[in-house]
Amino acid sequence: MKSWYKIQAATKALALSIHDEIGGWGIPTSDLLKEIRNFKGSQINLEIHSPGGSAFDGLALYHALNNHPARIEARVLGVAASAATLPLMAGDTITMPDGAFIMIHDPWAMAGGGADELEDTADLLRKVGDSLASVYSKRTGLPIERIKVLMADETWLNATEAKALGFADEIDAEAKIAALSPAAVRHFGKLPDALAPKLETARDLEAAVRDGLQLPSRAAKKLVAGGFKALSGRDDREEIEQATTLISALRADLRKTFDLRT
């Protein structure tokens, strides 16, 4: 399985790139934490382009970097959202390209069970939220109460806004911005228009259908090219009606997520 980070170690500097969801999916954060702890140089260059991931893994990375004696030069390549903002906050200097974004929000989780189990989950989420707010407050100097309002609103900040609030220190007007994948944008409720992927070609739509419906590439291509009828190869009226419902729902969902050009 492909790793969600890359490391290049040199005698004096460690180049660390986090470029996917943090933790989860069986990928051990412990490997990355070990690399950080074992590094004996004087500088860590951290680059982040990530939609987030595990809050606990993000906190572990933050503390590992924040407690390391090396200077942390952190940079947002395109987006640092949710848990991905946590290691970013360990930066002694945080640089964002003009047009990049960071996003903070309240932690959430999927839970099941009875009332007691659900109440335990809610209590845990509140405690995790307090920890996140403390990290942001320490880095920015903003009161925790202000941070919690920003988190509750799922706040997206561009480079200028992030610098004004203390989430960033420098703006790079020359750097190019990395784009989020269609699969990544589905996680957010208030995605800025500037980050919405553009559907300009049939291939763009195929990728959106493939990721949105979790279809094989071949099936997504057939669906885009000929609709559900081509995909099923049948004329059954019930299936065609189901296809119409599916296409309508898909189109509505895509309009919420993508900049459809008609």
Q: Model-level pTM?
A: 0.69
114-141 residue pLDDT tens: 888 888 888 889 999 999 999 999 999 9
More confident residue, 215 or 181: 215
Helix (H, G, I), strand (E, B) or coil at 161: helix
- Position 48 scores a pLDDT of 95
Pick from 106-110, 167-171, 187-191, 223-227 the range whose average pLDDT is largest. Answer: 167-171
DSSP code for 233: -
Helix (H, G, I), strand (E, B) or coil at 133: helix
Residue 167: burial class (beta carbons within 10 Å; 0-12, 13-18, 19+): buried
Instruction: Find tokens 């409720």 and name the residue.
Output: 189
Q: List, in order, residues 6 or more apart from 157 with CB less than 8 Å away.
A: 101, 102, 103, 165, 167
Q: How far is CA 96 from CA 54, 103, 163, 190, in A?
A: 23, 13, 9, 20
Cα–Cα distance for residue pair 48/191, rounded to 1 Å: 18
Nearest CA to 111 among 91, 95, 125?
A: 125
DSSP code for 131: H
- Position 30 scores a pLDDT of 87
Fold exhibited by the domain 5-178: 2-enoyl-CoA Hydratase; Chain A, domain 1 (3.90.226)
Cβ-contact 82, 54 below 8 angstroms = no
Listed by start position, the domains of the chain span: 5-178, 199-260
Cα–Cα distance for residue pair 119/184, rounded to 1 Å: 29
Q: How confident is the model at residue 184 (pLDDT cuts 50, 70, 90)?
A: low
194-211 residue pLDDT tens: 666 555 666 766 766 666
Average pLDDT for the chain: 79
Cα–Cα distance for residue pair 134/76, rounded to 1 Å: 21
